[in-house]
């Protein structure tokens, strides 16, 4: 059944799984959109909670996510199943892209519940204070979504519409994440499409780089730069500082930075400090990075 506006909490149905109770709290199948970025649910999606409950009653625990099972609320558009369940009194969230599989087997739920309980007890030294995603004045608060993606010890997240919805269609989105580590605040910014490392080591390194670059002077400081792919990167900080001393553009090529990983497309990552904030800029091999002083 198609719904519009805010989704009300539907009647719950408990299903026993391995002695533990499984409750489907909410479930929706629809296209990515601004409302999905803000609430996790889209106003134009299908409420499929009852469908999932019916499949569970029939004993189905591995549910295919496609139009044959859930219908097609948005033809010719990529869709996502978003479901909130409670297993053994532990809330769990699933976000499964069209074509994927919703795994509600007892072994999977038990492992996820244990991980979620551990994450709730120990949130880790890096704390997410606030996270925003959007463009052109259309920005969504994605703080809780970032926390959910980092639950269970995961430290890398992709800043994409697939993870955060699309609050500003046809515009390049930007993100801003405020973190705290050992009582020190750090602001990270960037554009959509990047994979962000929020591990303790990475945040610790960024804070150290920020402190090291604090005395460099100038409105925009090149704190650190590296070129490469995967785990094969080279430090090109000095070269980038020289090339961008007065602002300007850099064509990203192996001829300029060397080739730390042959036959693999590389990228340049530059950490800058501006007005007390740390930002990461990234440009792929063959493209142009521009910095305005």
CA–CA gap between residue 14 and residue 25 (Å, rounded)? 10
**What's the start-to-end Cα distance of the chain, in Å?**
54
Q: What is the pLDDT of residue 152?
A: 64
CA–CA gap between residue 90 and residue 85 (Å, rounded)? 8
If DSSP codes are grouped into helix, strand and coil, which group holds residue 55? helix
Residue 79 pLDDT exceeds 50:
yes
Q: What is the pLDDT of residue 252?
A: 92
CA dihedral 276, 280, 80, 127 (to 10 degrees): -50
pLDDT, tens digit, 9 for 90 and up, residues 96-142: 888 888 989 888 888 777 766 555 444 457 888 889 999 888 888 88
Closest by alpha carbon to 94, among 103, 82, 105?
A: 82
Angle at 176 between CA 171 and CA 179, to 5 degrees: 160
Q: What is the pLDDT of residue 213?
A: 52
Q: What is the pTM of this model?
A: 0.39
Q: Which residue has the tokens 């750090």?
A: 186
CA–CA gap between residue 224 and residue 273 (Å, rounded)? 10
Which helix H or strand E contains 140, and what residues bound it? strand 138-141
pLDDT, tens digit, 9 for 90 and up, residues 146-177: 888 887 667 888 888 888 988 888 888 988 89
Q: What is the pLDDT of residue 273?
A: 77
Structure tokens, 264: 């693999």
Q: What is the pLDDT of residue 33?
A: 47
Q: What is the pLDDT of residue 215?
A: 41
DSSP result, 227-258:
EEETTEEEE-HHHHHHHTBTBEEEE--HHHH-
pLDDT, tens digit, 9 for 90 and up, residues 242-274: 777 666 788 899 888 888 888 899 999 888 877
CA–CA gap between residue 185 and residue 158 (Å, rounded)? 22
pLDDT, tens digit, 9 for 90 and up, residues 166-213: 888 888 898 889 888 877 778 888 888 888 888 888 888 777 766 655
CA–CA gap between residue 98 and residue 100 (Å, rounded)? 6
Residue 57 pLDDT exceeds 70:
yes
Let me know: does 20 contact 111? Beta carbons within 8 Å: no
CA–CA gap between residue 283 and residue 293 (Å, rounded)? 18
pLDDT, tens digit, 9 for 90 and up, residues 214-246: 444 446 778 788 899 877 888 888 888 877 766
DSSP result, 64-105:
E-SHHHH--SSTTS-EEEEEEEEETTEEEEEEEETT-EEE--
pLDDT, tens digit, 9 for 90 and up, residues 37-46: 444 445 567 8
Q: Which residue has the tokens 């430290």?
A: 155
CA–CA gap between residue 154 and residue 49 (Å, rounded)? 28
Region 278-291: mean pLDDT is 84
Phi, psi of 81 (to 5 degrees): -95, 125
Q: What is the pLDDT of residue 70?
A: 92
Predicted confidence band of residue 55 (pLDDT cuts 50, 70, 90): very high
Q: Which residue has the tokens 């670059």?
A: 213
Predicted confidence band of residue 62 (pLDDT cuts 50, 70, 90): very high
Let me know: does 28 contact 2? Beta carbons within 8 Å: no
Count Cβ atoms below 10 Å from residue 167 Cβ, excluding itself: 25
């Amino acid at each position: 059944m198609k719904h519009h506006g805010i989704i009300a909490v539907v009647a719950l149905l408990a299903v026993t799984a391995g002695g533990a109770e499984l409750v489907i709290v909410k479930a929706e199948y629809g296209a990515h959109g601004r409302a999905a970025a803000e609430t996790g649910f889209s106003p134009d999606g299908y409420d499929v909670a009852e469908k999932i409950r019916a499949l569970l009653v029939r004993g189905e625990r591995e549910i295919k996510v496609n139009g044959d099972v859930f219908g097609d609320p948005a033809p010719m558009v990529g869709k996502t199943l978003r479901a909130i369940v409670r297993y053994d009194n532990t809330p769990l969230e699933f976000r499964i892209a069209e074509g994927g599989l919703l795994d509600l087997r007892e072994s999977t739920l038990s492992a996820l519940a244990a991980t979620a309980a551990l994450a709730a007890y120990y949130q880790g030294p890096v704390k997410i204070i606030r996270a925003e995603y959007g463009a052109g004045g259309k920005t969504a608060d994605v703080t809780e979504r970032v926390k959910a993606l980092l639950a269970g010890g995961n430290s890398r997240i992709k800043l994409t519409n697939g993870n955060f919805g699309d609050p500003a269609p046809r515009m390049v989105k930007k993100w801003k994440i405020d973190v705290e580590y050992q009582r020190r605040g750090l602001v990270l910014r960037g554009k959509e499409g990047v994979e962000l490392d929020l591990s303790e080591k990475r945040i610790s390194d960024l804070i150290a780089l920020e402190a090291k670059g604090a005395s460099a002077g100038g409105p925009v400081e090149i704190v650190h730069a590296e070129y490469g792919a995967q785990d094969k990167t080279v430090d090109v900080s000095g070269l980038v500082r020289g090339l961008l001393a007065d602002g300007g553009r850099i064509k990203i090529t192996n001829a300029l930075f060397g080739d730390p990983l042959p036959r693999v497309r590389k990228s340049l990552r530059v950490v800058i400090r501006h007005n007390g904030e740390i930002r990461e800029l990234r440009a792929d091999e063959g493209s142009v990075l521009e910095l305005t002083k």
